[in-house]
Amino acid sequence: MDTPSVPPKRATEQDRLVGERIKVLRKSKGISQTALGSSIGVTFQQIQKYENGVNRVGASRLSDIARVLEVRVSSFYDGDEGGGRDRAEVFGFLRTHGAIDLLHAFSEIEDDQLRREVLAIVRTVARIEQVRGS
């Protein structure tokens, strides 16, 4: 008996979003693609494919990734309790090139006054950039 041909499952928009969140969370923990891959038994190339949304991440693999990154599996999805739109917005900001590095450096500043001054500088630069773009 011939079985009908089933087309291969393709990565979806949700798969792409899960991949982006894996990348953001991995970078925020300072873990390389190689280290994450080794921890879950895959190559760094496979981690790249997950992060770029090329390959789908299976449930057990996502559970392994969550364990290594020390987050709940629900952290990779919209609608995480208490998260919702705010969580999606935060992940959007963290996808900005250099955002995670900036946050790491900012968090290492112990002096509260110095942190406020750095924040004021960044806000001023952002306003200048907006004026230039207008």
pTM (whole model) above 0.85? no
- How far apart are the C-alpha atoms of 102 and 106, rounded to whole Å? 6
- Structural domain including 105 reads 97-134
Same domain for 26 and 1: yes
> Tell me: the pLDDT tens digits for 60-116?
999 999 999 999 998 888 654 445 555 666 777 777 888 888 888 888 899 999 999
pLDDT digits (tens, 9 = 90+) for 13-65: 888 889 989 998 998 888 999 999 999 999 999 999 999 999 999 999 999 99
Q: What CATH number corresponds to the domain at position 53?
A: 1.10.260.40
Residue 74 CA to its chain's centroid (Å) = 13
| Structure-token match 């693609």, residue found | 33
Mark whether 18 and 56 lie in a shared domain. yes
